[in-house]
């Protein structure tokens, strides 16, 4: 299922200004040397009012708790950040995670999973599973998974790993994916059709980053590219993606396959928007509207049904 959102006039003007700033640097960030630049970009997401940020380590995985005022007990969000498996840190992403926590009313933990090339596949996915088990051991009873960009691949990988463990695992209540990477073979048609409109990446830049993560592994493996995974028996999934980004097809095809497997899955496609646009809550109306949708979806699935409503 796909829900399309029109481009608002005020956002069109903002995006025109953004294009002037971003296009000269498109595709220039490459390899681990770009980590400080990437973190600086992500840290510009504003902090949500009332959120308490606290560094922590859970089951050996470090990160940040982002706890909104009035957070509901026993509910948690695990956020797996983006950065093409090479960039990104929990510290730089904590404000985006805090925005999601505030919108949903639940505490969220953003993880510093291990990065490539120092720690190629499957290190990041192993960390995600270890972290989830650690969150369960802390006593949280309702857990949602959020993943953006490369973190989207890790999020779906975590969902399928937990499913395959069966009754031995507490099943996640829901998942939200922001511009997820789902096909590391880069076979989606929008790698070509959106190559001009995407303001951040180029195909050869992304291919180089993916190679660092794969370290010689086959990108068609379902544990690497969740688009090729069996997607049955997963919790409800919502995907938010920009129509102007090259990763559009990664989102649409994942949702199509998940829905065909019987999963409650929907892609919200926002016209004119760029990669992981919900982080731009300070400047884009679409980002604020998407964040409201994300918060409502997570809250609806994290809050358990009253006994009378579940009969």
For the chain, what percent of residues have pLDDT higher than 90? 95
The SS3 call for residue 230 is: coil
pLDDT score, position 310: 36
What residues contact residue 48 under an 8 Å CB cut-off, 6+ apart? 68, 95, 98, 99, 101, 102
Residue 221 lies in a domain: yes
**Does any domain span residue 311?**
no
Question: What CATH number corresponds to the domain at position 264?
Answer: 3.40.50.1820
Cis peptide bond upstream of 198, omega within 30: no
Number of domains in the chain: 1
Does residue 179 contact residue 269 with C-beta atoms inside 8 Å?
no
Task: Give a yes or no: residue 307 inside a domain.
Answer: no
Pick the closest to residue 151 from 203, 100, 187 (CA basis). Answer: 100
174-178 and 237-242 strand pairing? parallel
What is the DSSP code (8-state) at residue 40?
A: H
The reply to whether 114 falls in a domain is yes
Nearest Cα residue to 179 out of 79, 128, 247? 247
- 43 domain residue, yes or no: yes
| pLDDT for the residue numbered 166 | 83
pLDDT at 217: 97
CA distance 172 to 163: 9
Decide if 149 is catalytic. yes
Question: Residue 289 sits in which domain range?
Answer: 2-302
C-alpha to C-alpha distance for 233 and 256, rounded to whole angstroms? 15
Residues contacting residue 270 through CB under 8 Å, at least 6 positions apart:
5, 7, 240, 241, 242, 243, 277, 286, 290
Catalytic residue among 104, 116, 149, 251: 149
Q: Identify whether 310 is part of a domain.
A: no
Determine, yes or no, domain membership for 15.
Answer: yes
- Find the catalytic residue in 245, 251, 280, 301: 245
Find the catalytic residue in 79, 275, 280, 301: 275
The owner of tokens 């998407």 is: 290
Please report whether residue 183 resides in a domain: yes
> Which parts of the chain register pLDDT below 50?
307-311
Query: What is the pTM assigned to this prediction?
Result: 0.96
Q: What is the pLDDT of residue 143?
A: 98
């Amino acid at each position: 299922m796909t829900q399309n959102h029109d481009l608002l006039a005020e956002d069109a003007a903002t995006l025109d200004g953004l294009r002037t700033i971003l296009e000269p640097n498109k595709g220039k960030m490459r390899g681990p040397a770009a980590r400080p630049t990437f973190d600086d970009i992500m840290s510009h997401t504003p902090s949500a009012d009332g959120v308490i940020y606290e560094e922590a380590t859970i089951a050996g995985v470090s990160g940040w708790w982002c706890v909104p005022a009035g957070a509901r007990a026993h509910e948690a969000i695990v956020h797996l950040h983006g950065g093409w498996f090479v960039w990104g840190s929990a510290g730089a992403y904590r404000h985006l995670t805090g925005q999601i926590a505030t919108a949903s009313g639940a505490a969220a933990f953003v993880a510093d999973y291990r990065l490539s090339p120092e720690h190629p596949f499957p290190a990041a996915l192993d960390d995600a599973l270890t972290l989830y088990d650690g969150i369960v051991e802390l006593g949280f009873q309702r857990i949602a998974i959020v993943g953006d960009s490369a973190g989207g691949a890790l999020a779906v990988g975590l969902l399928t790993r937990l499913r395959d463990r069966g009754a031995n695992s507490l099943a996640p209540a829901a998942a939200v994916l922001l511009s997820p990477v789902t096909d590391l073979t880069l076979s989606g048609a929008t790698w070509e059709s959106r190559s001009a409109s995407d303001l951040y990446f180029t195909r050869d830049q992304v291919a180089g980053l993916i190679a660092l993560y794969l370290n010689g592994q086959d990108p068609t493996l379902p544990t690497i590219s969740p688009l090729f995974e069996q997607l049955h028996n997963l919790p409800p999934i919502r995907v938010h993606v920009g129509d102007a980004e090259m990763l559009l097809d990664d989102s649409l095809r994942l949702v199509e396959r998940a829905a065909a497997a019987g999963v409650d899955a929907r892609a919200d496609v926002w016209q004119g928007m760029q990669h992981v646009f919900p982080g731009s809550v300070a400047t884009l109306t679409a980002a604020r509207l998407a964040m409201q949708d994300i918060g409502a979806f997570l809250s609806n699935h994290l809050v358990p049904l009253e006994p009378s409503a579940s009969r």
